[in-house]
Chains A and B, each alone.
Chain A
Amino acid sequence: GAVVSQHPSRVICKSGTSVKIECRSLDFQATTMFWYRQFPKQSLMLMATSNEGSKATYEQGVEKDKFLINHASLTLSTLTVTSAHPEDSSFYICSARGTTLNTEAFFGQGTRLTVV
């Protein structure tokens, strides 16, 4: 199956700093990628839809100035958590789907962010 690579898998940062997470589709082109956040024992919550060459679409309640998304190419999307706070500590996962309708999504390995 298709492979989506996410990096880093784990990061610890200080409050107030920014963290960038990369998501790459390795063997297919993804015009759209999705960023999720998952708190312990909860399901995935969609944060935003990343569109290649255009602005991301954010879900209600997600601050676009805090969670910066860039989708500069068909194989790379980045999520930058700016001015991180301890409450931003979570598991962040990206996913991508191919261009064919109704296909499954493939997920990156996830990034566990801890803000201290």
Chain B
Amino acid sequence: RKEVEQDPGPFNVPEGATVAFNCTYSNSASQSFFWYRQDCRKEPKLLMSVYSSGNEDGRFTAQLNRASQYISLLIRDSKLSDSATYLCVVNPPAGNKLTFGGGTRVLVKP
């Protein structure tokens, strides 16, 4: 089993719709979690950190489910500019390295 797994997609989303996707992680002792956004041929950029209580930033909502070992990202009122690959990133308990999921590709269409 991979340490961090994501549905690669693509998720084809009509503009204005809501899309949600999950990321599962294998190490139950993982410390911290992040969602990054990566545009084609660009570096990943932090979208949001994921806190145990869940957090929201505008149209984006992230949640952590420790019991089932997954984090989720929900995008409301999708914009064309939301088209990107969303990377789930997990900080395992030992060391300073981050583990990346394979990414979920989202395509928002008019």
A binds B: yes
A residues in contact (CB < 8 Å) with B: 1, 6, 32, 34, 42-44, 46, 49, 91, 93, 95, 97, 101-110, 112
Instruction: Give bound CA distance, A32 to B98, whole Å.
Output: 12
B21 at the interface (CB under 8 A from A): no
- Tally of B interface residues using CB under 8 Å: 20
What's the least CB distance linking B35 to chain A, in Å? Answer: 10
Instruction: Give bound CA distance, A6 to B41, whole Å.
Output: 14
Closest partner residue, chain A, to B46 (CB atom) = A104
Are A107 and B44 in contact, with the CB atoms below 8 A? Answer: yes
Residues of A within 8 Å of B98, CB to CB, are 34, 95, 97, 105
Are A104 and B44 in contact, with the CB atoms below 8 A? Answer: no
Are A112 and B41 in contact, with the CB atoms below 8 A? Answer: yes
Are B32 and A44 in contact, with the CB atoms below 8 A? Answer: no
Additional A-B contacts beyond A104-B34, A104-B49, A105-B34 (5; CB < 8 A): A34-B97, A44-B44, A44-B100, A46-B100, A104-B46
What's the least CB distance linking A74 to chain B, in Å? Answer: 15
B residues in contact (CB < 8 Å) with A: 31-32, 34, 41-46, 49, 87, 89, 91, 96-98, 100-103
State whether A42 and B34 are in contact (beta carbons under 8 Å apart), knowing that A102-B91, A107-B45 are contacts in the complex: no
Question: Which listed residue, A43, A93, A101, touches B43 by the CB 8 Å rule?
Answer: A93
Residues of A within 8 Å of B89, CB to CB, are 105
Instruction: Give bound CA distance, A102 to B91, whole Å.
Output: 7
Instruction: Give bound CA distance, A101 to B87, whole Å.
Output: 20
Q: Which residue, of B96, B98, B101, has the highest number of chain A Cβ atoms within 10 A?
A: B96
Question: Which listed residue, B41, B91, B97, B101, touches A43 by the CB 8 Å rule?
Answer: B101
Question: Which listed residue, B32, B34, B42, B101, touches A110 by the CB 8 Å rule?
Answer: B42
Are B46 and A43 in contact, with the CB atoms below 8 A? Answer: no
Are A1 and B44 in contact, with the CB atoms below 8 A? Answer: no
Instruction: Give bound CA distance, A32 to B101, whole Å.
Output: 21
Instruction: Give bound CA distance, A97 to B46, whole Å.
Output: 12
